Amino acid sequence: MPLLEIKDLSFTYGPGTVFEKKAVNNVSLSIEKGDFIGIIGHTGSGKSTFIQTLNGLYKPTEGQIILDGKDIWENPKKIRNVRFRVGMVFQYPEYQLFEETAEKDIAYGPKNMGLSDSEIKERVMKAAKFVGLKPELLKKSPFELSGGEKRRVAIAGVIAMEPDILILDEPTAGLDPNGRDILLAQISAYHREKENTVLLVSHSMEDISRIADKILVMNKGNMFAFDDTKKVFARGEELEKIGLRIPEITKIMIGLKDRGYNVSTDIYSVEQAVNEIIKLKKPNRKG
Amino acid sequence: MLKEITLGQYFPGRSVLHKMDPRMKIILLTVFIVFIFLTKNYVSLAIMVVSVIFVILFSGVSLKLYFKSLKAIIFIVLFTSVLNLFYGTGDPLFQWKFITITQAGINTSVFVAARIISLVLISSVLTYTTSPTDLTDGIEKLLKPLSVFHIKIHEIAMMMTIALRFIPTLLEETDKIMSAQKARGADFDSGNAMTRIKTLIPILIPLFVSAFRRAYDLAMAMESRCYHGGEGRTRMKVLKYSKYDYIALCVVCLLCIGVIICNIRLPITLRTGM
């Protein structure tokens, strides 16, 4: 049984009003435990709306979301429990901070779960460690921290709830390249250690190709593709057609193929490309 | 949820009312409201109500929106008009225990209801058909004479423009912060009054922080573009009265004359001034 099953999900904003807009259109997919899924798509492709239906912030207009065999809207009063299991880090999460100290802010989620004080403390420490926050920062006001530190506090606030599924909406937006790499590495390490499920929304194909096992491509509210990373990149030309920027290295491979070289185009890292090109050279070598 | 608020919202369009000068619209609206309250019999009231309906039809804005703006005040209208029903003087038409209903009572409650509804509708027309910047431009121009008393009209108008400009932004921001806190298990829908107030803290603090941040950013941006108040400032779009404004002015004048004549010539139905 898949951990999370999405069946014919549609979501319409303001149905029956002048502002009616269908944001997600008939999406069906299954997410297994331990998946690391990258979600890409243009601004307005419905990806943010899609992920917000997964933890019950939006109620689907049509279709179902089934978590562990149970429709999450079966009992609307228990939707909070779904939100604890499906943790969501919003875009620019640092704007949600409000407590006196970073520590208290991280504890907000676990506190809402009704955990004991000792358990909360332990979870806060663990979460802070995962995102690389120094213990001395935890006693500071979140408003005194730097932008990158604030973001870490906010992400830790969701990780501390120890959700089975962690959804991150562009966690690296606005960070410098170095900060971006570190944060992605930490998310990746967290995923490996906890063996939980992570959904990561990003604009950057390069970032996603590096860490995701599977990719969901959204286009105009529809599911354009959902497959292993390699198979999605094999459709590089189609991705370009819907206006997504594919990794430079994939473009090079497509270019080579267009010029009549027999290379595969499901390539998204330099190492893969090197191997592929070497393969190409070998049979042609004379002598 | 918060996106459904239509108060003070502007709906772009091409109607005659959209093309009118904001100054003229504000002046005529004021005159119009005064005359709604000067009506003293059913004929003059009918003149005003019918013209409100015509103005609404001319505005080219969906009727649904007007109903929406009425929804918000329906309770006030019902409350005041029902209350007025029992406070008439004169011969009772209907009596039951301590409740007496007189012709005067019915008249007052009809007038009260009609006046409040017309007032809200006609004011909605102004905000629906005038963009916030035009509106504040108009107010600034109209209040200009007050600068004789050293009142800083330009600054007041600028503050109004900025406030109006940021209403949708702050609403959107509130929505986002609410979602983020809900995702961390905030519960806004249950508990008693005290716990409910407490759940607002995680929304209000980030909202204030971001409002201040935006204010600083805006001040910085304005200063780096050499903003230094209204002195010597010229406008890109200079307000000018067009033929529509003069036509509207004539129409409203005729309406007012009509109301005055009806009030004088016809028997007065409403004696107690509201």
10 Å Cβ neighbour count for B237? 8
Residues A129 and A44 grouped into a single domain: yes
Residue A97 contacts B, CB cutoff 8 Å:
yes
In angstroms, the separation between the Cα of residue B6 and the nearest Cα of chain A is 12
Please give the residue of chain A at the shortest CA–CA distance from B205. Answer: A98
Q: CA-to-CA distance for B36 and A186, rounded, in angstroms?
A: 67
**Tens of pLDDT, residues B164-219:** 788 888 888 999 999 999 999 888 777 777 888 888 889 999 999 999 999 999 99
Q: What is the pLDDT along chain A (287 residues), one digit of tens a residue?
A: 789 999 999 999 877 766 788 889 999 999 999 999 999 988 888 898 999 999 889 999 999 999 988 899 988 888 889 999 999 999 999 889 999 999 999 999 999 999 999 999 999 999 999 998 988 999 999 999 988 899 999 999 999 999 999 999 999 988 888 888 899 999 999 999 988 999 999 888 888 888 899 999 999 889 999 999 888 888 888 888 888 888 888 888 888 888 988 888 888 888 888 888 888 777 655 54
- Same domain flag for A103 and A225: yes
Domains identified in chain A, total number: 2
Q: Are residues A256 and A231 in the same domain?
A: no
Nearest chain A residue to B186 by CA: give it: A112
The DSSP bridge pattern shows strands A165-169 and A197-201 to be parallel
Rounded CA separation A134/A62 (Å):
45
Task: Tell me which residue in A57, A93, A97 faces B182 most closely, judged by beta carbons.
Answer: A57
Instruction: Round the average pLDDT of chain B to a whole number and report it.
Output: 84
B272 Cβ contact partners less than 8 Å away, ≥ 6 residues apart: B104, B108
- Domain of residue A236 covers 4-246
User: Over 70: is that where the pLDDT of B265 sits?
Assistant: yes
Residues of chain B with Cβ-Cβ distance to A97 below 8 Å are 206
User: What three-state secondary structure class fits A211?
Assistant: helix
Is B205 in Cβ contact with A98 (below 8 Å)? yes
Q: Do B185 and A109 lie within an 8 Å CB cutoff? A: yes
- What is the percent of chain B with per-residue pLDDT over 70, rounded to a whole number? 95
Q: Are residues A128 and A22 in the same domain?
A: yes
Residue that has been written with the tokens 């120890």 in this structure = A162
Predicted pLDDT at B270: 64
Q: Is the pLDDT of residue B161 over 50?
A: yes
Distance (Å) from the alpha carbon of B225 to chain A's nearest alpha carbon? 25
CA of A218 vs chain B CAs: smallest distance (Å) = 22
Phi, psi of A24 (to 5 degrees): -130, 130
Residue ranges of A 140-169 with Cβ closer than 8 A to chain B: 143, 157-158, 161
The reply to whether A235 and A275 lie within a common domain is: no
Give the nearest partner residue to B206 out of A14, A55, A97, using CB atoms: A97
Q: How far is residue A73 from each of residues A59, A66, A79, A85, measured CA to CA in Å?
A: 8, 9, 7, 14
Q: Which residue of A has its CA nearest to B68?
A: A17
pLDDT at B274: 41
Picking from A55, A97, A98, the nearest residue to B183 by CB comes out as A55
pLDDT tens for each residue of B114-126: 999 999 899 888 8
Quote the CA–CA distance of B266 and B274 in Å, as a whole number. Answer: 19
A228's CB contacts (< 8 A; 6+ apart) are A213, A214, A215
Query: What is the distance in angstroms between the Cα of A96 and the nearest Cα belonging to chain B?
Result: 6
Q: Which amino acid is at A250?
A: T
Of B62, B49, B69, the closest CA to residue B12 belongs to B62
Residues A168 and A48 in one domain: yes
Instruction: Output the pLDDT for position A287.
Output: 44
The pair of three-digit structure tokens given for residue A284, joined into one six-digit string: 């042609």
**In chain B, what are the domain boundaries?**
2-144+243-265
Select from A113, A188, A199, A196 the least CA-distant residue to A157.
Answer: A113
Please report the DSSP string for A242-279 in residue order: TTPPPPHHHHHHHHHHHTT----S---SHHHHHHHHHH
Q: For residue B210, what is the nearest residue in chain A, using CA coordinates?
A: A95
Contact: B179, A161; criterion CB under 8 Å: no
* Cα dihedral B241→B244→B245→B248 (10° resolution): 170
CATH number at A198 reads 3.40.50.300
Report CB contact under 8 Å: B206, A113: no
- Optimal mutation site among B5, B179, B184, B216, interface A, most CBs of chain A within 10 A: B184
Q: Are residues A87 and A155 in the same domain?
A: yes
Q: Which residue of A has its CA nearest to B178?
A: A96
Is A95 in contact with B206 (Cβ distance < 8 A)?
Answer: yes
Whether residues A136 and A272 share a domain: the answer is: no
- Among chain B residues, the shortest Cα distance to A93 is held by B180
Distances (CA, A) of A100 to A139, B17, B161, B176: 9, 51, 34, 21
> Helix A147-159 to helix A177-194 angle, to the nearest 10 degrees?
10
Residues of B with Cβ-Cβ distance to A19 under 8 angstroms: 3
Q: How far is B184 from chain A, CA to nearest CA, in Å? A: 5
- Contact criterion met (CB < 8 Å) for B182 and A83: yes
Nearest-neighbour CA in chain A from B69: distance (Å): 15
Residue B271: predicted pLDDT: 56
Closest partner residue to A112 among B173, B184, B201, by Cβ? Answer: B184
Closest Cα in chain A to B1 = A14
Residue A258 shares a structural domain with residue A145: no
**Nearest CB to B179 within list A14, A57, A87:** A57
> SS3 for A276-287, per residue?
HHHHHHHHHCCC
Q: Are residues A39 and A95 in the same domain?
A: yes
Q: What are phi and psi of B227, to 5 degrees?
A: -75, 130
Would you call B185 and A80 a contact, using CB atoms and an 8 Å cutoff?
yes
- Sheet containing A4-13: which strands, arranged edge to edge? A21-31, A4-13, A62-67, A70-71
Q: Across-strand partners of A215?
A: A38, A227
* Residues of chain A contacting B182 with CB distance shorter than 8 Å: 57, 83
* A223: three-class secondary structure by DSSP: strand
Together in a domain, A137 and A264? no
Decide: helix, strand or coil at residue A101: coil
The tally of CA atoms less than 13 A away on the side-chain side of residue B72 is 11
Convert the pLDDT of each residue in B29-61 to its tens digit.
Answer: 999 999 998 888 888 888 889 999 999 888 888
- Three-state SS for A36? strand
pLDDT of residue B1: 43
> What local confidence, expressed as pLDDT, does residue A90 receive?
93
Are A255 and A213 in a shared domain? Answer: no
Whether B205 sits inside 8 A of A96 (CB atoms) is no
